[in-house]
Structure 1
């Protein structure tokens, strides 16, 4: 098995600390499978956490036992990857756009700290991403009644294609139940709470279309990029978050 580089190992140590704090019965074998490394590598990681980071890692012996981090131990400061920080920053922006009065007191402070952690170039990219996420009116009760959470694999593929401006191949189920294959450019995301829509160029018809994310049955990335179009290309209501869907 290939030796991991230093950044990968540091990230794995952070995740291990969180897992041991939250999970009551982690085993070396389970942790090795989850992180894609050998049990020996996990054992070395645990030894490093004990000997050099001073973490109190307890081991329960016998059947049903496992590893855990002492409950009185904190996991330290929070380290986020660039992708994690972008997702959190965008989530904060969406929450602020929704104008919910609850739990917003410190969001602006958190947002400023996240922004300050980015380079000028990355801040520009994040601002562009934020401008592509719109919040409109709450979905009608009719729409909400039929809405459900999209499959996780669909969400992941759509998320990556949206950020990377990458064409996406999807299987889409219409309201009447008919399913069709589409090839789309995911330009914008629109939230009409609690339902998300992707505003895209549909290559099947060569025109802008809006798709309900929970009706996307499958999604596959293509590694083919597209050039972002301005909101005006999708109609005057897009910039207002009032797109008719």
Structure 2
């Protein structure tokens, strides 16, 4: 498929989705007319959308038609690698809390997010998850005192953790001694 044909198909698919969202029911003849396609092409596009998870209903007979199920409320999201990691991290946090609500579908949601990644990336994401610990009670850590800084140290250390690279830091010890080190964050422990 050429680049032009691919773009044309993507545009046609977006127009089809827009039409399905805009009205309660569409006849296939009306959809064909709006999209300027054959019956076969339209049926192929509808089947492809169903395979991709779009809940497309078709009612036969007079007054029937094709529609996107009315309960379909979320668009396809386009997230970058970092955003998906942060979303998985947030889901892990919520999952670790003893909440009586909002936890029934987390496993399925996380599985769907993993499926977004290519096969080669899934093992990497799985390895990152194994290096994240969530704890609700930590008493052995000294109280954290935030300091004035020109960068967000938590963001920098999280990026180093996720990207598996070293980080140069400067800090003040409890005895007020200044020090500079290169660290390699192996684990991330979240606690409150």
Alignment of 1:63-212 (within 5 A): 76-140=75-139, 143=142, 146=144, 148=146, 153-191=152-190, 193-194=191-192
DSSP 3-state at the match of 2:166? strand
Cα deviation for residue 78 of structure 1 reads 2.8
The alpha carbon displacement at 1:185 in A equals 1.3
Aligned residue for 1:187, secondary structure, equals coil
Give 1:174 deviation, angstroms: 2.1
Change (3 A) 1:141 1:183: closer
Name the CA shift for 1:175/1:99 in 2 (closer, same or farther; >3 Å): farther
Q: Which structure's residues are more often strand, by fraction?
A: 1
Q: CA contact under 8 A between 1:85 and 1:114: conserved in structure 2?
A: yes
1:182 and 1:131 map into 2 onto residues whose CA distance is: 26
What's the CA shift for 1:148? 4.8
Q: Report SS of the residue matched to 1:135.
A: strand
Q: CA RMSD in A?
A: 3.1
SS state at 1:186 partner: coil
Q: Which runs of 5+ in 2 are unaligned?
A: 1-72
- Shift in CA distance, 135/79, structure 1 to aligned 2, threshold 3 Å: same
Residues 147, 95 of structure 1: alpha-carbon distance in 2 compared, 3 angstrom cutoff: farther
Q: Deviations over 1:114-155 (max 9, x none)?
A: 0121122111000000011112351339956x4559966212
Greater radius of gyration (CA)? 2
Q: Following TM superposition, by how much is the alpha carbon of 1:102 offset from its aligned partner in structure 2, in angstroms?
A: 4.2
Higher helix share: 2
Q: Distance in 2 between matches of 1:96 and 1:130?
A: 13
In structure 1, list runs of 5 or more residues that go unmatched.
Answer: 1-73, 195-245
SS, match of residue 103 in structure 1: coil
CA distance 1:119–1:102, change in 2 (3 Å): same
Distance change >3 Å, CA 120–CA 142, structure 1 → 2: closer
**Which stretch of structure 1 is more off in the superposition, 166-175 or 89-98?**
89-98
Change in Cα spacing, 1:110 to 1:140, as seen in structure 2 (3 Å) is: same
For 1:107 and 1:177, how far apart are their aligned partners in 2? Answer: 44
Query: Which whole-Å CA distance do the structure 2 matches of 1:115 and 1:75 have between them?
Result: 18
User: Aligned to 1:166, what secondary structure does the other structure show?
Assistant: coil
* Count of aligned residue pairs for this structure pair: 119
